[in-house]
């Protein structure tokens, strides 16, 4: 007969081993999320705090039926303004605009889509709703119970309770809480590029991290943010991505097709998350066509996960390149000027020495084999996006 203390020790050891095994499974699952940049929709850019459960359901249905899901868009994310108060046990409750978060998640999952929410490491969100400060483990458990697949975690009021040197620990605290649930949840760090987050984002569990301030629906702001990403490419790769903020395609002043194509092309060259921010239930065929161009999306979703970079610049004319898994190179000729311009790329500048087959990704057209360079007329605020492939002998 064993001594009771031995049985107690054995039970303790088994519990430790089980906990360690579960933690290992959770870490393994977490390492498999966001192997390509997340694609989906976020409520903030168009609806702001006017978002409701009915609106989110309608956006999810639209995504599932208008060709976006088929093109790779999977996440339906509620941004700020969904939170209510905490109950007597401290559990976060949604507000009256979201009467049934579990039911909403179940509906989104029934469409074979994923569900995302938003919070802050501070006591309040940016819109002054309830944050996760001192309730990280509780909130993570609640999110997992609802069926959450994505968490955007916005710094907002955190400076009220954390010093700058505690930022990494604050994000790590929520990542550990998410891991403890055993549910794979994409972890999106939103702190506007502070403290060179791209250098430490992976170490606190980030799958993506904001590299800039907030975007707005106009060409000037979009272009400033997008083209300033050059130099960050070495910090991106499968499972961890630089995030220059959401797409404004179909919103505000960004409705000219050349400007819409510029953001889509540049974000895909950057291997950036593609989170649409427009009203998916009310968009024209032009905007839908830009958002669902399979050849352009393939640039973003390439499994090699290389982020593109600038290779030449002549005033407002920029040439960018992105290396693809199949050995081809995608080249973007971007015209940031106020008039049309003829632009050229020398193949040697993008690592191709000799002839290359040229395909126009927006026009879905093979342009033939060219010797040492390619040139095209690029409209103002527009782009020509081509894929260069070396002919096989």
C-alpha 289/C-alpha 247 separation (Å) is 14
Q: Are residues 86 and 161 in the same domain?
A: yes
- pLDDT, position 393: 73
Q: Are residues 234 and 159 in the same domain?
A: yes
Q: Are residues 170 and 153 in the same domain?
A: yes
Q: Are residues 240 and 341 in the same domain?
A: no
- pLDDT, position 391: 87
Numbers of helices and strands, H then E, in the chain: 11, 18
- pLDDT, position 379: 97
Q: Are residues 174 and 291 in the same domain?
A: yes
3-state SS assignment for residue 313: strand
Q: Are residues 385 and 239 in the same domain?
A: no
- 384: closest CA among 348, 328, 344? 344
Quote the distance between the C-alpha of residue 35 and its chain's center: 11
C-alpha 259/C-alpha 243 separation (Å) is 19
Q: Are residues 251 and 320 in the same domain?
A: no
- pLDDT, position 253: 81
Q: Which domain holds residue 51?
A: 33-300
Q: Which residues are catalytic?
A: 154, 214
Of 300, 319, 348, which one is at a domain's C-terminal end? 300
Q: Are 255 and 283 in contact (CB under 8 A)?
A: no
Tally the C-alpha atoms within 13 A of residue 220's C-alpha that lie toward its C-beta. Answer: 1
Q: What are the Cα distances from residue 302, in Å, to 28, 29, 192?
A: 22, 21, 26
Q: Mind listing the pLDDT tens digit of every residue in the chain (393 residues)?
A: 556 666 666 565 554 444 444 444 444 555 689 999 999 999 999 999 999 999 999 999 999 999 999 999 999 999 999 999 999 999 999 999 999 999 999 999 999 999 999 999 999 999 999 999 999 999 999 999 999 999 999 999 999 999 999 999 999 999 999 999 999 999 999 999 999 999 999 999 999 999 999 999 999 999 999 999 999 999 999 999 999 999 999 998 877 999 999 999 999 999 999 999 999 999 999 999 999 999 999 999 999 999 999 999 999 999 999 999 999 999 999 999 999 999 999 999 999 999 999 999 999 999 999 999 999 999 999 999 999 999 877
Q: Are residues 121 and 167 in the same domain?
A: yes
- pLDDT, position 3: 62
- pLDDT, position 254: 79
From the number of C-beta atoms within 10 Å of its C-beta (0-12, 13-18, 19+), residue 333 rates as buried
Residues near 33 by beta carbon (within 8 Å), at least 6 away in sequence: 184, 185, 186, 207, 239
Q: Are 36 and 305 in contact (CB under 8 A)?
A: yes
Question: Which DSSP string corresponds to 236-263?
Answer: -BTTBEEE-----TTSTTTTSHHHHHHH
CATH number at residue 373: 2.60.40.1180
Q: Are 330 and 385 in contact (CB under 8 A)?
A: yes
Structure tokens at 218: 């106009």
Of 281, 300, 319, which one is at a domain's C-terminal end? 300
- pLDDT, position 252: 82
Q: Are residues 234 and 350 in the same domain?
A: no
Quote the distance between the C-alpha of residue 218 and its chain's center: 20
Q: What are the Cα distances from residue 334, in Å, to 138, 202, 244, 247, 313?
A: 47, 31, 17, 18, 10
- 290: closest CA among 387, 388, 382? 382
- pLDDT, position 22: 41
Q: Are residues 186 and 160 in the same domain?
A: yes
C-alpha 23/C-alpha 31 separation (Å) is 12
Q: Are residues 37 and 20 in the same domain?
A: no
Q: Are residues 166 and 231 in the same domain?
A: yes
Structure tokens at 175: 């990542």
CATH number at residue 288: 3.20.20.70
Count of structural domains within the chain: 3
Q: What are the Cα distances from residue 116, in Å, to 4, 80, 87, 128, 157?
A: 47, 11, 22, 19, 21
């Amino acid at each position: 007969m064993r001594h009771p203390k031995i049985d107690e020790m054995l039970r303790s050891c088994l519990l430790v081993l089980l906990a360690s095994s579960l933690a290992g499974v959770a870490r393994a699952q977490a390492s498999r999320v966001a192997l390509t940049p997340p694609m989906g929709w976020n409520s903030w850019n168009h609806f702001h705090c006017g978002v409701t459960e009915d609106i989110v359901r309608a956006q999810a249905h639209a995504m599932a039926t208008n060709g976006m899901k088929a093109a790779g868009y999977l996440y339906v994310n509620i941004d700020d303004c969904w939170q209510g108060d905490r109950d007597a046990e401290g559990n976060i409750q949604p507000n009256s605009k979201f009467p049934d978060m579990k039911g909403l998640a179940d509906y989104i999952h029934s469409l074979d889509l994923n569900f995302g929410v938003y919070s802050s490491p501070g006591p309040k969100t940016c819109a002054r709703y309830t944050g996760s400060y001192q309730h990280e483990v509780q909130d993570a458990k609640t999110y997992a119970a609802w069926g959450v697949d994505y968490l955007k975690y916005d710094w907002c009021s955190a400076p009220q309770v954390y010093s700058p040197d505690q930022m990494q620990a604050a994000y790590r605290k929520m990542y550990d809480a998410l891991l403890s649930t055993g549910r794979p949840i994409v972890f999106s760090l939103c702190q506007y590029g502070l403290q060179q987050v791209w250098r430490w984002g992976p170490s606190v569990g980030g799958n993506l991290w904001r590299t800039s301030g907030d975007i707005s629906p106009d060409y000037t702001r979009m272009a400033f943010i997008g083209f300033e990403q050059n130099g960050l490419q070495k910090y991106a790769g499968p499972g961890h991505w630089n995030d220059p903020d959401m797409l404004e395609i179909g919103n505000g002043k960004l409705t000219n097709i050349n400007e819409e194509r510029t953001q889509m092309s540049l974000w895909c060259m950057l291997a950036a998350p593609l989170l649409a921010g427009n009203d998916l239930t009310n968009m024209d065929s032009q905007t839908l066509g830009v958002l669902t161009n399979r050849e352009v999306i393939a640039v973003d979703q390439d499994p090699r996960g290389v982020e593109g970079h600038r290779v030449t610049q002549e005033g407002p004319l920029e040439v960018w390149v992105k290396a693809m898994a199949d050995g081809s190179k995608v080249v973007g000729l971007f015209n940031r000027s106020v008039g049309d311009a003829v632009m050229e790329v020398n193949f040697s500048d993008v690592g191709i020495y000799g002839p290359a087959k040229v395909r126009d990704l927006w026009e879905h057209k093979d342009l033939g084999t060219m010797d040492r360079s390619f040139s095209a007329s690029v409209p103002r605020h527009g782009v020509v996006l081509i894929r260069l492939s070396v002919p096989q002998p």
